[in-house]
Amino acid sequence: MMNRLYAILKNSKAFAVAFSGGVDSTFLAATARKVYGDAVVALTAVSCLQSRHELQMSIDIAEHIGIKHVMVEVDVMVNPEIVANPVERCYFCKQELFGALKAKAKELGFDTLAHGANMDDLDDYRPGLKAAEEMGIFSPLVEAQLAKNDVRIASKEMGLSTWDMPSQSCLATRIPYGEAITVEKLNKIESCEYFLIELGFYGVRVRCHSDMARIECPNHFIPQMAQHDMRNKIIPFFRDQGFRFVSLDLSGYLSGSMN
């Protein structure tokens, strides 16, 4: 499968990579740099939908793999179709983000923008993939038929620190469809998730249901998070951020649980 990916890249011109610093985009960026050298660039969309923690990670990872890295500011909140948060929100969001990244790529001399979608993404509800297809975003991992586990294995072999990183998603995915997105909600979600990360809980999601926070975490963290001393740390912090109720979902973390 890696041979297929290298063949696809070698038969293509150098491109810009839509880069979040997650497992897939890091793997794609690192592989593209192997093929094209310095004739490739990583573009990161900076918006209120991305946590500052993940933004800093993207900066650090791009520096580690030695790829040119450019930040592109995008004000997604000017789009009422994103703010309204319909079930197709990801479609409208990707239109905004990819539109800005494509414009920057063209400005830098690149005809093509690529993203790290993999085969597993095709099995979930991902309206953003439709936007990417309509906008002509290159998907080399899909063309090479690489699934998420393939990407993780290859990333480990390449020595990429992201190989076992939990999946990332934008902060808007924490808000139920139909409930308007606001900067205030996004900020308190981000603050609470970062607080949990600082406590050692990785791969967490803080789902925002009005004034109730529903914490999803990997199953092995549930006993620790439910301990009395830990609850006494988490609950006051969440309430200070504006949540009245704080719950722990005993089902654990489930990707796409708001779909």
pLDDT digit string, tens, across residues 171-188: 999 999 999 999 999 999
Ramachandran area for residue 136 (φ above 0: left; ψ -120 to 50: alpha; else beta): left
If one counts the domains in the chain, the total is 2
Distance CA 2, CA 135 (A): 26
> Please, what is the Cα angle at 224 between 218 and 230, to 5 degrees?
120
Residues 137 and 200 in one domain: no
Q: Is the pLDDT of residue 125 over 90?
A: no
Predicted confidence (pLDDT) per residue in 64-96, tens digit: 999 999 999 999 999 999 999 999 999 999 999
Q: Is the pLDDT of residue 41 over 70?
A: yes
Residues 118 and 242 in one domain: no
Residues 65 and 138 in one domain: yes
Q: List the CATH number of the domain containing 45.
A: 3.40.50.620
Confidence of residue 256 (pLDDT cuts 50, 70, 90): low
Residues 199 and 157 in one domain: no
Last residue of a domain, one of 131, 164, 197: 164
pLDDT > 70: percent of the chain: 98
Q: List the CATH number of the domain containing 204.
A: 3.30.70
Residues 12 and 126 in one domain: yes
Residue 96: domain span:
2-164
